[in-house]
């Protein structure tokens, strides 16, 4: 496998390209005033970085080497830089500039739970800090040591704990090590006729342990559940010993310890293993595209769909802006594509009365037996029709399914061109979705205006539940300068996040708190909620050895030193 980029998303050699998407360049030029042909900026070269020497006392190094063997204890500069932070846009901007964080002093790669426990004991003995590392794809700042950390910092990379240990087909459970990456997990389960069914956008670059530590959701969570539903038994190496929760389907044994580990971002310990739901690979799996006249129509259809007994696997509705972006992302349309598309536009406009500028693309996924899928398609088709929607077949769904894991690379592509692009997502009740959407859009546009930048803003609904859904926002703008970019980004991102908590939504549906979102936690869960988390973390890890400063207890965020608007 190629190495992880130290300066960007994913693996070396992979990058986003406009060349096979003829409509995208003009779209980007039109929407945010960026000429994609002009590369304005590049990351520093690795040899230009100033990398501090590691602070690794000899005794601690010896203990670590005894824990895992010397070859799995690394102070290699690239290793340390890669493990120094995640992949938030703030991280990418700073890495490209060579503004490195407080790097870990050492990266260790344990090969067993016992080795993790030995590392933890060594860290406690040396008064060191442990930061667990899965895929390194955190976009919430969960992986970065505190700036002023004076103790040794150990990044514990779990990549060697990648085995499916056992499968219990009768209980539909698998015992899996936490360091396994998404593709490898699916590959191993597939060999046994099963699937886990968890497909976050970070799927190729994230691990089971990371999904648990951040309360992840995947594309098919409508059917398979969020990670919090899918994970039953847990094994976690903690300062108090190895936590073991039983893989029972439900329990009334006090506040759920399992649910405390979910979303704990390494603050309670290092997750080594989980017993998780698996399902037999379905006979058939398909994602169909639909068009709705407006975003509100699409949301209403999803709301009604969530009140039925149909069990769809994917629900997704893009707003008109994201729909237009999707159309612009089409790869090398053939003439036939173009005709179909033109014909479709004519059809929906003339026959259905759609305003083609406000129509919204939607995906609904189906899984199961041929018979089940067919019956569900028919039933959902009727429901969609009642909301003015139209099925446009499997083509868009196939495209979406193939390309979804490539999208995060677009942030680096835009950074090379002087533009910032990022995401924020949340969840709220069905009745609050449109008011929230309007409020967030207003705040984002206000932020663009305040900065005097041309910004683009788009959104989709995903993950339908009984009482509400997730709204996922994407935004991009051309920075006034590379220097100003980070400050300008903070203005837009903060406006969106603030609009979430000001309008009854949560700070994140599946991207975690880390340090990026910590400033909104108090408004989200109220002061006693923060006090409960504090009590848990401080009481369980009074020495602050376990990834301190994440979720709660971080110092107030330091505004970017970049000149912000008017600054």
What are the catalytic residues?
472
Nearest to 201 by CA among 177, 217, 185, 223: 217
Write down the least CB distance from residue 379 to a copy of itself, Å: 10
Tell me phi and psi for residue 365, to 5 degrees: -105, 145
Among residues 173, 270, 274, 440, the one that binds a copy of itself under rule CB under 8 A: 173
> x-or-dash pattern for a copy of itself, window 13-42, by CB under 8 A?
------------------------------
Among residues 106, 129, 158, 236, the one that binds a copy of itself under rule CB under 8 A: 236
Nearest to 220 by CA among 112, 120, 356, 367: 367
Write down the least CB distance from residue 91 to a copy of itself, Å: 18
The conformation of residue 207, written as its DSSP 8-state character, comes to: B
Given a contact cutoff of 8 angstroms between Cβ atoms, the answer to whether 44 and 96 are in contact is: yes
Separation of CA 457 from chain center:
18
Write down the least CB distance from residue 233 to a copy of itself, Å: 9
Write down the least CB distance from residue 236 to a copy of itself, Å: 7
DSSP codes of every residue in 429-442? EGGGHHHHHHHHHH
| Closer by beta carbon to a copy of itself, 76 or else 307 | 307
Is beta strand 129-133 parallel, antiparallel or unpaired with respect to 153-157? parallel
| Closer by beta carbon to a copy of itself, 402 or else 431 | 431
Task: Say how far apart CA 504 and CA 500 lie, in whole Å.
Answer: 7
> x-or-dash pattern for a copy of itself, window 492-531, by CB under 8 A?
------------xxxxxxxxxx---x---x--xxxxxx-x
Interface with a copy of itself in residues 246-265 (CB under 8 A)? 246-257, 259-265
Given a contact cutoff of 8 angstroms between Cβ atoms, the answer to whether 84 and 154 are in contact is: no
Interface with a copy of itself in residues 413-442 (CB under 8 A)? 426-432
Listed ranges 84-92, 245-253, 448-456, 475-483: which one lies at the site for a copy of itself (CB under 8 A): 245-253
Interface with a copy of itself in residues 443-462 (CB under 8 A)? none
Any idea what the Cα angle at residue 165 is, between residues 171 and 226, rounded to 5°?
55
Q: How far apart are the first and last CA of the chain?
A: 44
Among residues 59, 168, 187, 337, the one that binds a copy of itself under rule CB under 8 A: 168
Write down the least CB distance from residue 168 to a copy of itself, Å: 5
> x-or-dash pattern for a copy of itself, window 207-226, by CB under 8 A?
-------xxxx--------x
Task: Say how far apart CA 333 and CA 327 lie, in whole Å.
Answer: 10
Nearest to 338 by CA among 323, 327, 354, 326: 327
Write down the least CB distance from residue 143 to a copy of itself, Å: 16
Listed ranges 22-30, 76-84, 123-131, 241-249: which one lies at the site for a copy of itself (CB under 8 A): 241-249
* Dihedral sign computed on CA atoms, order 517, 519, 525, 531: positive
Is 549 a residue that touches a copy of itself (CB under 8 A)?
no
What lies within 8 Å, CB to CB, of 369 at 6+ separation is 282, 283, 284
Task: Say how far apart CA 362 and CA 23 lie, in whole Å.
Answer: 20
> x-or-dash pattern for a copy of itself, window 460-479, by CB under 8 A?
---x-xxxxxx---------
- DSSP H or E segment with residue 243: strand 241-245
| Closer by beta carbon to a copy of itself, 346 or else 369 | 369
Paired strand residues for 20: none
């Amino acid at each position: 496998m190629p190495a992880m980029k130290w300066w960007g998303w994913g693996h070396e050699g992979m990058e986003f390209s406009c060349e096979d998407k003829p409509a995208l360049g003009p779209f980007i030029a039109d929407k945010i005033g960026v000429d994609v042909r002009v590369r304005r900026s590049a990351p520093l070269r690795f040899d230009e970085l100033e990398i501090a020497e590691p602070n690794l006392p000899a005794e601690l190094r010896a203990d670590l080497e005894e824990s895992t063997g010397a070859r799995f204890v690394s102070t290699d500069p690239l290793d340390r830089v890669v493990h120094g932070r995640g992949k938030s846009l703030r991280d990418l901007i700073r890495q490209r500039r060579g503004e490195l964080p407080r790097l870990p002093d050492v990266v260790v790669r344990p090969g067993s739970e016992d080795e993790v426990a030995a590392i933890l004991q060594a860290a406690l003995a040396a008064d060191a800090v442990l930061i667990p590392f899965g895929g390194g794809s955190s976009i919430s700042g969960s992986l970065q040591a505190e700036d002023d950390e004076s103790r040794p910092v150990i990044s514990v990379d779990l990549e060697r704990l990648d085995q499916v240990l056992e499968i219990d087909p009768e209980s539909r459970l698998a015992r899996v090590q936490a360091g396994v990456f998404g593709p490898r997990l699916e590959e191993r389960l597939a060999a046994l006729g099963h699937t886990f069914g968890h497909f976050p956008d970070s799927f190729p670059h994230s691990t089971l342990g990371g999904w648990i530590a951040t309360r992840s959701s995947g594309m098919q969570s409508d059917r398979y559940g969020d990670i919090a539903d899918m994970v039953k038994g847990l094994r976690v190496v903690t300062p108090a010993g190895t936590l073991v929760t039983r893989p029972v389907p439900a329990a009334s044994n006090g506040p759920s310890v399992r649910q405390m580990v979910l979303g704990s971002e390494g603050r309670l310990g290092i997750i080594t293993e989980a017993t998780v739901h698996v399902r037999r690979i379905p006979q058939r799996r398909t994602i169909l595209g639909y068009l709705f006249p407006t975003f509100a129509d699409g949301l209403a259809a999803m709301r009604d769909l969530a009140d039925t007994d149909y069990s769809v696997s994917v629900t997704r509705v893009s707003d008109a802006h994201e729909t237009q972006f999707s159309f612009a992302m089409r790869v090398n349309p053939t003439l036939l594509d173009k005709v179909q598309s033109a014909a479709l536009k004519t059809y929906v406009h003339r026959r259905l009365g759609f305003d083609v500028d406000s129509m919204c693309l939607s995906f609904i996924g189906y899984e199961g037996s041929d018979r089940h899928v067919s019956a569900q398609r028919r039933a959902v088709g009727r429901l969609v029709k009642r909301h003015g929607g139209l099925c446009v077949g499997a083509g868009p769904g196939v495209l979406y399914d193939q390309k979804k894991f490539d999208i995060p690379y677009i942030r680096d592509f835009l950074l090379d061109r002087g533009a910032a692009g990022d995401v924020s997502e949340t969840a709220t009740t069905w009745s609050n979705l449109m008011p929230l959407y309007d409020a967030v859009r207003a705040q984002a546009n206000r932020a663009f205006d305040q900065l005097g930048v041309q910004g683009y803003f788009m959104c989709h609904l995903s993950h339908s539940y009984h009482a509400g859904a997730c709204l996922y926002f994407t935004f991009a703008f051309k920075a006034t300068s590379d220097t100003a970019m980070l400050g300008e980004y903070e203005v837009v991102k903060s406006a969106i996040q603030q609009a979430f908590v000001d309008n009854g939504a949560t700070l994140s549906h599946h991207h975690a708190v880390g340090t990026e979102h910590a400033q909104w936690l108090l408004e989200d869960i109220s002061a006693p909620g923060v006090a409960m988390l504090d009590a848990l973390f401080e009481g369980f890890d009074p020495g602050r050895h376990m990834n301190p400063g994440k979720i709660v207890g971080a110092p107030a965020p330091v505004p970017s030193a970049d000149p912000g608007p008017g600054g």
